[in-house]
Amino acid sequence: MVRRIGLTMRVHSRSGELRNCLAQDWPSLLCRIPRIQWIQIPNLGEESLNYLSAWQVDQVILTGGEDTGTSPYRDSTERSILEHCLDNDLPVLGVCRGMQFIQTFFGGQLIASNAIHYSGQPHEVIAENSIGKCLLGSSTAKVNSYHKYGVAKEDLSPELETWAASRDGLVEICHHREKKVLAVQWHPERSLPDPGLAHRILEAFCNE
């Protein structure tokens, strides 16, 4: 079965013109995942739902880039998309900003993260349960980090559960307790010490 995945995009302003952008790392990764097709979702607010319907999108990735609250166009688009996916039981994967957006959508708070989390350097994460261990490929793994805000384990929305966390207590993988919503704080599309980690995350998402 072929899955059709929609990817949200960041909003970039150049010379007064707003542009929708997607990191080139995403096509490079998704082209290596079997049984999927993917399309980019423009930031159109509620009108983006017509786009999802016309292209018969089965699943959505809320990609990284920008902080939540910096672009009303993107925030309204992703809020409409997340509501649509929850109402229609469509799987969602949140990546970096996407995880933070999911946290705030379900009433949780964000905190400022320390320098290790936005330095681009690998750091260790620890599985919190057997599912997290399966995704990491072991009880621990190293991931990248490019985020100035994060989710403390104690602040995670009650509707979400932690599957892996960093040593300083930030959530690195979480999942909704009832819905098909998976989120990771790092960037699986970028270089990782274990390339298989990205494929395990994408496979888990595609098999939701």
Structure pTM?
A: 0.96
Closest alpha carbon to 200 in 82, 24, 41, 32: 32
**Integer CA distances (angstroms), 4 to 27, 36, 155, 180, in order:** 14, 6, 33, 16
Question: Which residues belong to the active site?
Answer: 96, 187, 189
Give the CA diameter of the chain: 49
CA distance 197 to 37: 20
Give the integer Cα–Cα distance in Å for 175 and 59. Answer: 15
Domains of the chain: 3-206 (3.40.50.880)
Question: What amino acid occupies position 24?
Answer: Q
Name the burial class of residue 95, with classes exposed (0-12), middle (13-18) and buried (19+) by CB atoms within 10 angstroms of its CB. Answer: buried
Strands 3-8 and 36-41: parallel
Q: What is the pLDDT along the chain (208 residues), one digit of tens a residue?
A: 889 999 999 998 888 898 999 999 999 999 888 889 999 999 999 999 999 999 999 999 999 988 999 999 999 999 999 999 999 999 999 999 999 999 999 999 999 987 666 677 889 999 999 999 999 999 999 999 888 899 999 999 999 999 999 999 999 999 999 999 999 999 999 998 898 999 999 999 988 8
pLDDT of amino acid 126 = 98
End-to-end CA distance of the chain: 13
Q: d(Cα 126, Cα 172) in Å, to the nearest integer?
A: 9
Q: Quick one: pLDDT at residue 92?
A: 98
The pLDDT score that the predictor gives to residue 116 is: 63
Asked if residues 143 and 122 have their Cβ atoms less than 8 Å apart, the reply is yes
Going by their DSSP bridges, the two strands 149-150 and 171-176 should be labelled as: unpaired
The pLDDT of residue 129 is 97
Give the pLDDT confidence score for residue 108 in this predicted structure: 97
Burial class (CB in 10 A: 0-12, 13-18, 19+), 66: middle
**Which pLDDT score, from 0 to 100, does residue 97 have?**
96
